[in-house]
Structure 1
């Protein structure tokens, strides 16, 4: 970790409640990493009767902090954007302490063979209610509507807070970095389609699970789409010069980032290659990838 990041971690408000808007509070879990930035942001929506979004890891200190933040209030729902281990495992123990319905994304039990800091998917996630695209839950003064955004994972949901024109964007759009899209469950074509879906929405603020609130979301989403297209063009240019394996592509494409992230970047490169293969642009040849004749 560099000195600037270490300083941010040292100053992060772990275990404290941050008021971000009239309807939104956040409690930050102390699970910083190159994949989670400062940690998982667990959101509390509403006042009095509330929903919790992305309960986070099953870390006792974090769960204690969330429970303390909710003292004297009633939890109606624990909403989960997706089932990576830094998002969903806290739902069941929080429900046992505070009550409420676990709702949100569908279960997904996959062995993730990719290099993820969150150790893959939560095999124990069992929601009481799965929300389809456009379905809502509500409480006094708040309404949260599910927005299906597959790509980072096939079961990923965002949640739109209708009363504030805000969107809880999970890992689909983060406030500090682009998301890893890791096959076999991560899908670049679906990810790009979901970005386009968000671009066409009227949300004026994003609350990502990792990183700061996003104040100009359409601008960021347009930049993310452009960034992915740039990566795609890099791959095509490199393969146009000759066959290459994924590690060689990553070394050239991601020379400026922390090498600890190269294995995960390789998963996103693989996702691009699978998408390009489906579109008839490239082909695998053993360990190598080549341009389609």
Structure 2
């Protein structure tokens, strides 16, 4: 991990690529690391903003200042967690730019996926599907559908630089939480494999430092998730049949504030394992499949 990331100033653009500037929002937490990183992509004439971040006046003002006289072609959101998309509407009002990117997340119930983590006010002008593009002066953004962390998650590729903006699908400091019922481990693993088969030069995530060996990291992430599967099967075999019993054993040394989120990922793994016929559920208890 880049030790300098903790020294980076808030509300100040960093030139991280000839076509990319990064802006850190002042919203650090156990779930966001040092904060959400917004990206201004393009030339001084035309730009796009990726993951405008939380609706914080300081951050929005800093983005406007960094954009300067450039025309904002699009405001792009990778997904609709509240640390990513709420600034889209005020930024659109100030610049006149359309909000283009992930689909709004329509929640069918009041379960875990409708908690405060989601932005119910997100209203895109255009929803991108896999492979669709946005273009400006000598740059192009290509949507790469990566469901799993959320069902509406997109990454954005910048082919002119070999950059992939990975949102929360691949982060530079931690693995993503996959929280059912919207989060889907089967989809998440398929999306990781999809990225592994690409040839991007560098990842710019929404949290944490840039990833300069992307395929190596993704291969490790896939291996880590397979290791979690084996841990879960071992926990069940040893008689820990409930998620609350598994998490303290599986996440020793991890900040206990993150255990509820870890439990959601364990649940996602269990659903995936059940779909593959490896475990079965009875109420809150899980067992190895006969």
- Confirm or deny that 1:180 pairs with 2:180: no
Counterpart CA distance in 2 for 1:286 and 1:158 is 36
Two-structure CA RMSD over aligned residues (Å): 1.6
Taking the TM superposition and a 5 Å limit, the aligned residue runs for 1:192-211 are: 192-211=189-208
Counterpart CA distance in 2 for 1:212 and 1:198 is 18
SS of 1:95's equivalent? Answer: helix
Following TM superposition, by how much is the alpha carbon of 1:120 offset from its aligned partner in structure 2, in angstroms? 1.8
SS of 2:21's equivalent? Answer: strand
Following TM superposition, by how much is the alpha carbon of 1:284 offset from its aligned partner in structure 2, in angstroms? 1.4
2:220 corresponds to which residue? 223
- Say if 1:15 and 1:27, in contact at 8 Å, map to a contact too: yes
Pick one of 143, 157, 169 that aligns with 2:166. Answer: 169
Taking the TM superposition and a 5 Å limit, the aligned residue runs for 1:244-255 are: 244-255=241-252
Q: CA, structure 1 residues 59+113, in 2 after alignment: closer, same or farther (shift >3 Å)?
A: farther
- CA distances 1:225-266 after superposition (whole Å, capped 9, x unpaired): 000000000001111122421011001000120011000000
Following TM superposition, by how much is the alpha carbon of 1:119 offset from its aligned partner in structure 2, in angstroms? 2.4
2:54 corresponds to which residue? 57
- Confirm or deny that 1:149 pairs with 2:146: yes
SS of 1:244's equivalent? Answer: coil
TM-score for the superposition, normalised by structure 2: 0.95
- Confirm or deny that 1:36 pairs with 2:32: yes
Following TM superposition, by how much is the alpha carbon of 1:114 offset from its aligned partner in structure 2, in angstroms? 4.2
Pick one of 19, 24, 28 that aligns with 1:23. Answer: 19
1:3 corresponds to which residue? none
Taking the TM superposition and a 5 Å limit, the aligned residue runs for 1:124-143 are: 124-143=121-140
Counterpart CA distance in 2 for 1:278 and 1:286 is 16
1:75 corresponds to which residue? 72
Pick one of 231, 235, 246 that aligns with 2:232. Answer: 235
Counterpart CA distance in 2 for 1:114 and 1:161 is 34
Q: CA, structure 1 residues 112+21, in 2 after alignment: closer, same or farther (shift >3 Å)?
A: farther
- CA distances 1:134-158 after superposition (whole Å, capped 9, x unpaired): 0000001100000000000000000
Counterpart CA distance in 2 for 1:166 and 1:56 is 20
Counterpart CA distance in 1 for 2:27 and 2:106 is 22
Counterpart CA distance in 2 for 1:183 and 1:120 is 13
- Say if 1:33 and 1:39, in contact at 8 Å, map to a contact too: yes
- Say if 2:86 and 2:119, in contact at 8 Å, map to a contact too: yes
SS of 1:249's equivalent? Answer: helix
2:83 corresponds to which residue? 86
SS of 2:140's equivalent? Answer: strand
- Say if 2:41 and 2:48, in contact at 8 Å, map to a contact too: yes
- CA distances 1:117-139 after superposition (whole Å, capped 9, x unpaired): x9221111110011110000000
Counterpart CA distance in 2 for 1:157 and 1:115 is 18
- CA distances 1:162-198 after superposition (whole Å, capped 9, x unpaired): 1011100000000100000000100000000000000
Following TM superposition, by how much is the alpha carbon of 1:100 offset from its aligned partner in structure 2, in angstroms? 1.2
TM-score for the superposition, normalised by structure 1: 0.94
Following TM superposition, by how much is the alpha carbon of 1:81 offset from its aligned partner in structure 2, in angstroms? 0.3
Following TM superposition, by how much is the alpha carbon of 1:286 offset from its aligned partner in structure 2, in angstroms? 2.0
Q: CA, structure 1 residues 186+291, in 2 after alignment: closer, same or farther (shift >3 Å)?
A: same
- CA distances 1:75-102 after superposition (whole Å, capped 9, x unpaired): 1100110001000110010010012111
Counterpart CA distance in 2 for 1:286 and 1:68 is 54
- Say if 2:179 and 2:261, in contact at 8 Å, map to a contact too: yes
